[in-house]
Structure 1
Amino acid sequence: MAPEPQHHFGVYARIRDGNHILLVHKTRGPYTGLLDLPGGTPEPGESWQETLERELQEELGLHLPAVGRFKPFTIHVRTTSTGASINFHHRGVFLDLPRPPTAPSTSMSPDTAGSRWFNTRTDNKTHLSPVVHAVLSL
């Protein structure tokens, strides 16, 4: 029997510098232990821009304006990072942002444990979340 479907919507940043993308280490949820885009779920009454600016502050300690055109994505995830069966429908939007003028700091979010610049040409992609795989192809 298939697991009950779960639906999630999130707002994310794709922060690039050449072949590098800034990712966070997930500490909970279906992507635990994987590298993921910084971002998260809007709070009630929050715009996408407000959500992203808050999440960038919480996860990366960065004050970045979320200006630009958000791009949508939709994925269906069937297994967690640990291999457990799920029926996870993940919709979201992401915004392309340039490399920030300051380095990210320690995460204040319970969802993440630090960040790193990931080289999209040479680094091993097996530890990337399904969201990262989806937006790298867009």
Structure 2
Amino acid sequence: MGSAPQCHFGVYARIRDAGRILLVHKTRGPYTGLLDLPGGRPEPGETWPQTLERELQEELGLTISATGAFRPFDVHVQQSSTGAPIDFHHHGVVLDLALASPPAPVTSPDTAGYEWFDLRTGDTTCLSAAVRTVLGRHPPGTVNRQ
């Protein structure tokens, strides 16, 4: 008998600037070693905007008001960042945001800094399945639903 599928729900930001997207370096979970959207799991009682504001402060040192229309995404990941077979269902919502100030260096248990990824020339193999799904670039080893 196989193991039960792992399910995760998160609230994320898509922050773009001049053909680039702001992403974090993941240090744990199925996206370890990959670039991922800033954000994460809601804590009990948090609204989506509250979750996103907290996560952006924790991961990027940013204080941003998370207002606007959240868009859902759903991806079924069948291979971890190391190539191991997994059954990971990643559900979430994403909000487009603009930056008024640059991110600050912070320490987070989930991430190891950030980078601006060039959407025109960057190697997309370093992107998580969630990032590729949100960008409309479906990764291998996934089943995507919008």
Q: What range describes the TM-score normalised by the shorter chain of this pair? A: over 0.9
TM-score, structure 1 normalization: 0.95
- Three-state SS of the structure 1 residue aligned to 2:78 is strand
Please name the residue that 1:131 is paired with. Answer: 130
Please name the residue that 1:13 is paired with. Answer: 13
Please name the residue that 1:80 is paired with. Answer: 80
User: Is 1:120 the counterpart of 2:110 in the alignment?
Assistant: no
8 Å CA contact 1:22–1:118 kept in 2: the answer is yes
8 Å CA contact 1:27–1:111 kept in 2: the answer is yes
Superposition RMSD in Å: 1.2
- More divergent stretch after superposition (104-113 vs 74-83): 104-113
**How many positions carry a matched residue from both structures?**
137
| Structure 1 gap segments, 5+ residues each | none
Aligned amino acid, residue 6 of structure 2: Q
Give the whole-Å Cα distance in 1 for the aligned partners of 2:58 and 2:107: 5
- Three-state SS of the structure 1 residue aligned to 2:4 is coil
Equivalent runs, 1:96-115 vs 2, <5 Å: 96-98=96-98, 100-115=99-114
8 Å CA contact 1:72–1:92 kept in 2: the answer is yes
Per-residue CA deviation, residues 52-107 of structure 1 (Å, 9 max, x unaligned), is: 00000000000000010000000000011001111001100000011x12211123
8 Å CA contact 1:3–1:85 kept in 2: the answer is no
Shift of 1:2: 4.3
| Structure 2 gap segments, 5+ residues each | 137-145
Please name the residue that 2:64 is paired with. Answer: 64
TM-score, structure 2 normalization: 0.90
Aligned amino acid, residue 119 of structure 2: T
Ranges of 4+ aligned residues in structure 1 off by more than 6 Å: none
